[in-house]
Every structure is written in C-alpha cells, then in structure tokens.
A and B are shown apart, each in its own frame.
Chain A
Amino acid sequence: MADTRATFVSHKINKIRWRQQQKQSLQESDVFASGSWDDEQNKVCLWKVERQKVQSGEMDDGGGKGYVESDPVTLCEAPHRGDVTGLEYMGQDHIVASSSTGTITIYKHHTNSQTLGVSQQWEKVHHHYGQMCPCTCLAVRDDVIVSSGEDGRVNIIQVGHKTPNRVIDKADSSTVNSITFLKQTEFVTVNSTGQLKIFDLRTNSDEPTQTLSVTGELTPLQCIDKHPSQAHIVATGGQDGVLGMWDLRHDKFPVSLMEAHSGTVWEVRFHPTAPDHLFTCSEDGCVWHWDGSQVNATPVGMVTGINQITGTGAGSGGGNLSTPRQFQYGGSAVATGLTNPWLATDIAKNKIEITSLLDQKSLPINTLDVAGHTLLCGTDGETIFTMNLGSLR
C-alpha cells in the first residue's frame, strides 16, 4: 500500500501536473503545478515536495521507499479567470492553462523570484459566435498547443504567434473532452458521444483521418492518454467508469473495455517510465493502480496452456486490494504476441492486478499525475494527495 499524505489546500483541484525533469536528470521532479476550478477566484499554483532520505535497511535499488515526502508547500501562485480546465508544462518553466472562459494562458515560473507571471495569452479562442464557451482541454508538444472545447472547435496554436495558426471550426458535433498528441503532427481527441478522432496536421482537410468508437454507445469519453513508448496504444476513461484500451493500428473499436469505477473516469495516465503501470481516478472518489507487469511474466506460448490455473485474478493479491465489481472484456481481442500487456489476450489480462490507492471513498478525484515514485492527485474535497508508490517495474 502506498504511503499517502493528504494536504488541504482550500480550493478544488481540477488539474495537477509534475514539472518535467531535464533529460538525463536522474533526480525525480519535486515541483508540480495545480489548477483550481469551481470557485469565485481560481488560480494556478506551484508546489514543492521536500524529499528526505531515510536511513533504513529497506533499500530497493534507490527506490522510492528510501524517501519520505513532506506535505507539499506553495512556491507561488497566480490568479486565473474561470476554471482551469487543462494544464500542461511546456518545458521546465512554462505552464499552459486553458480556461472555462475559452482563453488559453501561458504562465512563466520565474525561479529566481519564485513568482508566476503571464507570458502569453490567447483570449476566447473558444467561443459560441463570440459568446463565452468553455475550453475543455489542451495538449502541448514542443512549442505547439492544441486545444478544444464545448464549441467542438480545435485550435492549433504556435507559441509566439498572436492568433492560432489553424482553427478547425467543426471538428466535433459534441463537446471534445480531452486531447493529446500522438506524434509531432498527429493528435487525437475524445468526445461526448464516445468517439475517438485522429487528426493529421499535414493534411489540409478538417476531417479526422480516422474515427474510432465504442459500437452502439454514446457514452462520453472523458480522458485519454497515450502509451509513452508505443504511440498506437491509447487508454481512455469514460463517463460510465469504463477503462478502454485502443490499438490505433487495427480496429475501429477498442481492444478491451474494463468496467472499473462507479463514476466518470476523469483522468487516465500511463506511468511515463514504467508503462506497464496505469492509473485512473474517478468521480467515485477512488484512485486505481492497474499493474500489467505480470501479464508477460509467463512466456506467451504457455499462456493458453495455463488457461485453467491462472489464479491471480484481478484484485486477489494483497490485503489492501479492492476488488472491482465486475469485469467485461469486450471488443476484439487482437493477439499481438508478447509486446504489450495492455493489448494482451483476455486470459492474460486476468493477470492485471488492480489496487485501490485511496481506500476511503471521499469526494470526486478530478486529476492525477505520476512521475518516478510519486503519484499526485487533486480532488473536489480541496485536497492534494501525495502517494509514494515504491518502486515499479
């Protein structure tokens, strides 16, 4: 079970993001940004976590257990008009935030003075014929920002330019809830009718190059994350609490759908350096850790052989595991061999271990981010949870 600290912060957290570490840096990031929502005055805050080395016998290859984290402390903050609906680091010291007022803002973290200032802003790039419209999500790749909103519009913005480089006015009939880059020139959106659309910036067409969806369902997809090393694998979370796995190379439909939470999945994240681990957080107040590292523990040839004796079903592991109510593996099982646990066959999938990281059901959890050994999440209970996961393989 993870060590968990709860910090009460006096505002609801809608987005939380670790600062990116410099490449080659071996140290874990200790600074993160948060964005608030649903308050009279919202803000973007930067936090720092102090880590203290513990002189203990239990040293697992420099793993996270060797550290004790303190409560995060505020470094600096800046007011933000409207809800912070999206938040991403751009490099080390720039943070991009999207707002429910339809505006996108880049904040600069002045590390010398520990202050946060606005460095660039695109006002009301999302709108309903000039009337206010919430921007719901954004993604950043190098110095390009893509954003979308309740207006179904997608903006492609280049830092330094005054107006968006390109606007796809009718990218979606419904609301786009989440967006992420697949490659330099390709991004994917999920919407309120359960569709996943891939757009290619190299084409001039405003039509998506590919549209995927769960058949016969209009259940909104709320979040998406791309596998850190295999760009064709994405995970989505739906309003029905279902975790979806998609192989963008193959089908129009998800590889698998796993009934998980009892409320909307607000965020799904692969661990950036241990991608066999996945995390979800939900309106139901739970954070789950999906551990796929055991899926490939058995050589692929044997998988069918041990069909009957795979006793390590989900949730039967440790004492703190919460057993999900029910599992349904739908879609077409695409056998892709050993390569990735998330695309594995149904039988092997039983070996995904699921742990509930917050055992006390509380108010909705809107956001999470994970880096190194530490998982962060932000809630409607005006709380930031900091969890030490130990070492993940």
Chain B
Amino acid sequence: MVSVINSVDTAHEDMIHDAQLDYYGTKLATCSSDRTIKIFDVKSGQQTLVSELRGHDGPVWQLAWAHPMFGNLLASCGYDKKVIVWKETNGTWGKLYEYPNHDSSVNSVQFAPHEFGLILACGSSDGSISIISSAGDGAWDAKKINNAHSIGCNAVSWAPSISPGALLDQSVRQQGVKRIATGGCDNLVKIWREEEGQWKEDQKLEGHSDWVRDVAWAPSIGLPKSILASCSQDFRVLIWTNDGTSNDWTSKTLNKFNDVVWHLSWSITGNILAVSGGDNKVSLWKETLEGQWVCISDVTKGQGQVTESQKGSSS
C-alpha cells in the first residue's frame, strides 16, 4: 500500500521547482520561483522550517546536497545565471561560494560522487556545462565545456564513482574515471568523460524526438553494466544500457506517457525509478527478473480518496 503519511506546507509564494532530501533523510530543501530556498527539518514525521536562503535574483531551479563528510553544503542554480554553494555553520546558513560564469539560466546542478572530492557539475541554457571543484582550502576551480548542447543543456547527472569493469577485475581498480550524462534541447543525451584533466565527449545518444528534460544515472549495484534513464518532451522515458565491455549503448522505451515527462529519480539502490511530469502522476517502475520494466505504483492527482486502479502499461 502506498500512502501519504505527512505533508509539508512550504509556504513558498510561487511554484516549487525542486525538492531534495539530504543523505540522512532528515532535511528537505526546496526551491521556488519566489527566489527562495527553504530548508525543513523532517525528522520523525515533524516538519519545521529551519532556514530560508535568499541570494538568487530569479527563480531557483534545482538543488543538490553534498555528502555530509564535507559538512552541510547545498548547491543551487537558477534563472539568474548563478550557481551558489551554501554552507551551514552552527545552525546558520550562509553563502560559501558563488559561480557567475554562465551566460544564461542555469537549469541543473549536481554534486559528484563523494569519492571524487567536492565537485559539482551544472548545465545551462547557454549550452555549456561547468564542472566546479573545491580544493578544500576555500579555493574553487572551474572547467567549462562550451557548446555541449545547442540551444541549451537541461540536465546533468554523474555516473557512480566505481566504473563497472573494476568490479570484475579487482586488480584494475580504476576508480578515477569521472563521467557525466547530460540532456539538452538538441534532443540528445551526451556522455562526457574526463581524460587527463580534460572533459571530452564520450557518447552521443540519439533516441528522443524532442527536448530531453532529465537524465538520471542509476546507482551501481555491482553489475558490469551501466544504466541511464532519460525523459523528454516527446512523452517518453528511455532506459539506456551499456554492458561495460563495449562502447555501445542500447535503448529501450520504458513507457510513452500522456504528457511531457520532466523528472526522473532512482531509489538509493537503483532498483526503482520514479517518473513524474505533466500528466500529474508519479509512477514507480521496476525491472523484473525477466528484464521487463513494469509500473508498480502510482501517485496521482485525484478527486476522491483513492481512485480506481489503472492497469500499468508495461512496455
């Protein structure tokens, strides 16, 4: 049984664009068109507003929490072309770093797996991607990939830190490979890889017929293959897989929805994918032992308490 057990009234004055739970599931950060970011304590079923962060001059699009080993850090990006890293010290939140080097709205931000250190990637409507890293002494360094997606980059997602091949052969533990997947208005999903300090395009995945709104790299569960999900304005969600030995990525349509799909989110262990978007629904998808993707649960806008079941359409 799926049930709503709590609700948090955010009191945002405009549309919410993102909400992110910290690593321990105790703090929820939200951001909105009202230019603010709010942080709520959501421990043991109670929600209290801890802090409200102001610093963006326009709608705030996306948030990302850093691993707690770096302290309490939150990154945000917005319409004002800025990326801001916020830090909590003794209960008070303040700006730690501001990155102003984009020429247009910054749509997406995400921290790299903590094994790589304190690094974040962001994608902008100016078509470029920035990879910003901190040496830990307060100095920040940025690398930029220009013209990554024509018309704009909408989403970034880091690959898990352990490259799949390393698990098969423990002796070649090549933990170092940093990879990012991005999606853009050129209908493409691209994979980027860092080689000798330079970011290079590794793959160009063609499959969508409209803007790609989100990409999400699945957490590794020890299989040699990599799994990537993408969703698009074309109403479809694609699951991309790479067997870990070759460079080929194959795609499979998870489902064609009734409206634009704009958000994807994998569960912690990567066994369930949550899909949401313009059809006012959140559906949960799981791969069966036969390799089929099936819908297991649906949360939807409804009039009554519980509406009648809809048959999950499996691909």
Contact = CB atoms under 8 A, between A and B. Distances in A.
B44 A129 contact: no
B91 A131 contact: yes
A128 B91 CA distance: 11
B181 to A, nearest CB: 36
B259 to A, nearest CB: 37
A153 B45 CA distance: 31
Nearest to B45: A40
A273 interface: no
Contacts of B91: 130-131
Interface residues of B, number: 4
B247 interface: no
B106 to A, nearest CB: 33
Contacts of A129: 90
Nearest to A129: B90
Interface in A127-169: 128-131
Nearest to B43: A40
A210 interface: no
B45 A131 contact: no
A40 B90 contact: no
Contacts of A128: 90
A41 interface: yes
Interface in B20-65: 44-45
A129 B44 CA distance: 24
B44 A131 contact: no
Contacts, number: 9
A128 B89 CA distance: 12
Contacts of A41: 44
A129 B91 CA distance: 10
A40 B90 CA distance: 24
A357 to B, nearest CB: 34
Contacts of A130: 90-91
Contacts of B45: 40
Contacts of B90: 128-131
Interface in A20-45: 40-41
B71 to A, nearest CB: 14
A131 B91 CA distance: 7
A41 B45 CA distance: 10
Nearest to A42: B44
A287 to B, nearest CB: 31
Nearest to B44: A40
A130 B89 CA distance: 13
Nearest to A128: B90
A130 B91 CA distance: 10
Contacts of A40: 44-45
A128 B90 CA distance: 9
Nearest to B91: A131
A257 B116 CA distance: 42
A137 B247 CA distance: 57
B12 to A, nearest CB: 27
Interface string B81-124: 00000000011000000000000000000000000000000000
9 contacts: A40-B44, A40-B45, A41-B44, A128-B90, A129-B90, A130-B90, A130-B91, A131-B90, A131-B91
9 closest Cβ pairs, A-B complex? A40-B44, A131-B91, A131-B90, A129-B90, A40-B45, A41-B44, A128-B90, A130-B91, A130-B90
Given A40-B45, A130-B90, 7 more contacts: A40-B44, A41-B44, A128-B90, A129-B90, A130-B91, A131-B90, A131-B91
